[in-house]
Amino acid sequence: MTQENFTPPLLTVDSVLFTIKDNSLKILLLKRKNSPFQNSWALPGGFIDVDKDNSAEDTASHKLTDKTGVTPPYLEQLNTFSSKSRDPRGWSASIAYFALIAHEETNLDVTPKNDENAQWVDVGNLMDETADYQPLAFDHRQIFQFALERLKQKALYSMLPVFCLPKEFTLGEYHTLIEIILGKSIQKKTLYRRFEASNMFEETGETVATGARAAMLYRLKEGAKLVNFERNLG
Amino acid sequence: MTQENFTPPLLTVDSVLFTIKDNSLKILLLKRKNSPFQNSWALPGGFIDVDKDNSAEDTASHKLTDKTGVTPPYLEQLNTFSSKSRDPRGWSASIAYFALIAHEETNLDVTPKNDENAQWVDVGNLMDETADYQPLAFDHRQIFQFALERLKQKALYSMLPVFCLPKEFTLGEYHTLIEIILGKSIQKKTLYRRFEASNMFEETGETVATGARAAMLYRLKEGAKLVNFERNLG
DNA sequence: GTAATAGTGTCTATAAGACATTATATA
DNA sequence: TATATAATGTCTTATAGACACTATTAC
């Protein structure tokens, strides 16, 4: 049996790129220029270029780099969403990726580049189907929700969220980030213990003043591998 | 930009179906009848029938039901494997699924059905690239290894492996199963505590004798949901 | 009775949660 | 000095690990 017996399905790649900005969790959305769902907001993505991309991950990475100017420090496959009805053009599958970046590292904040058709959208906005930017194109809201669940789950047992922070950051920023992702308060002592135990970071030697005692800045160690813990946070 | 500008990639579905049999972990492999990789062993799967299947999960489920005679009690998406080179026919992606079943519930043991081209293959065999059944077709060995990692990981924090057992089973069988999956000994006390705490099972009232004290038989409660724990086993 | 497997009691070890305390900065 | 935020000390709690013990069956 060969594929020639069948109508080939459409195959696309879409990415949910998270960042932390203005004390809230946001994802990158683009306004669609073309049909279907013209002028709706959508996840960055598109068709695979079989000549240029060696794998779907390449496609995801290229599309994100095009939009942000940088390669996200974390990119993993999320899930593939497929159905007869998710795309009006026919049976389709989208290989979805999940990525993290510090918005400060992208060119999206820069004024000349500032693009009305590419926006960091607050996750809170996307939970309410009647809010701005809604409804999203295709099943992108469902993909976003799947990604958010994955992020929350991984925040419970790994250091993953640090990839939302800039290259140098304080423990306080890390603490705030985790509380925003999980939507509840976490003892800073617990996070600091894990931060230390992970052995992924080193002091820069610099401190940053916040109106009170100056906080130590940390950076990821060269070649540090992402650490998972044996227990979940509460 | 539409897909018509591109050569469409090939899209298939493949499943890694695990069971426990003769005190070892096995997966279902089929001998390929057609090119490419004719006569090589491969995971059950194939192209999506866009007229019959509403989603890729439907395809996975249909293919497994065709081969085993029953619908596996556990089926989840694993990962999508894609590259320019994994299929000699061109750029291709395979949406891989991960499934568990009790071999006793399938028709694969039944003598008249017994099919030389469908075999339960020991996982130990597949770790050694020079052993029987190797090399597998396409990148199916890599897909299998990804699935095995997922199974081991989930065995550490969930009751998932029970779906490898028949409808009625003893705590001793569950204990043996977990030790086989993890490849190391686990305190039965620890497993029994989790088994109880999960609240997923009920006594059938029947016991089964094993030459010594009779063991209680358990079954999954009606509508029981799979439970995850907050810590991993050691 | 012995042997074998099923199942429990209970102590220890580890890491998270709670929360008080000390440290260092600015005004 | 007061106050704000950074960072640490230490006690409690929850659950896994170790391992000895009791229970029930066949012989």
Distance in Å from C8's C1' to B189's CA comes to 9
Which of A56-70, A101-115, B212-226 has the least mean pLDDT? A101-115
The answer to whether the CB atoms of A230 and B230 lie below 8 A apart is no
B60, B66, B72, B75 alpha-carbon torsion, rounded to 10° = 0
Chain A residues in contact with chain B using a Cβ-Cβ cutoff of 8 Å? 1-3, 5-11, 34, 46-51, 53-57, 77, 79-80, 82-85, 90-91, 93, 95, 230-232
The answer to whether the CB atoms of B47 and A80 lie below 8 A apart is no
User: Which string of DSSP letters, residue by residue, matches A175-192?
Assistant: HHHHHHHHTS---HHHHH
Q: Using CB atoms, pick whichever of A49, A50, A56 lies closest to residue B80.
A: A56
The reported pLDDT for the residue numbered A109 is 82
Least Cα separation, residue B77 to chain A (angstroms) = 7
The answer to whether the CB atoms of B55 and A2 lie below 8 A apart is no
Of A154, A201, A193, the residue nearest A175 (C-alpha)? A193
pLDDT tens digits along B73-127: 999 999 999 999 999 999 999 999 999 999 999 998 876 566 789 999 999 999 9
- The reply to whether the CB atom of residue A222 sits less than 7 A from any atom in nucleic acid chain C is no
d(CA A15, CA A98): 6
The reported pLDDT for the residue numbered B3 is 47
| Residue of least CA–C1' distance to D5 | A212
Burial category of A196 from C-beta neighbours within 10 Å (exposed 0-12, middle 13-18, buried 19 and up): exposed
pLDDT tens digits along A23-78: 999 999 999 999 999 999 999 999 999 999 999 999 999 999 999 999 999 999 99
- The reply to whether the CB atom of residue B187 sits less than 7 A from any atom in nucleic acid chain D is yes
B163: Cα within 13 Å, side-chain hemisphere:
22
- The reply to whether the CB atom of residue A205 sits less than 7 A from any atom in nucleic acid chain C is no
The answer to whether the CB atoms of A6 and B49 lie below 8 A apart is yes
Q: List B16's β-bridge partners, or say none.
A: B98
A39: Cα within 13 Å, side-chain hemisphere:
0
> Does A1 score more than 50 pLDDT?
no
pTM for the structure as a whole: 0.95
pLDDT tens digits along B47-66: 999 999 999 999 999 999 99
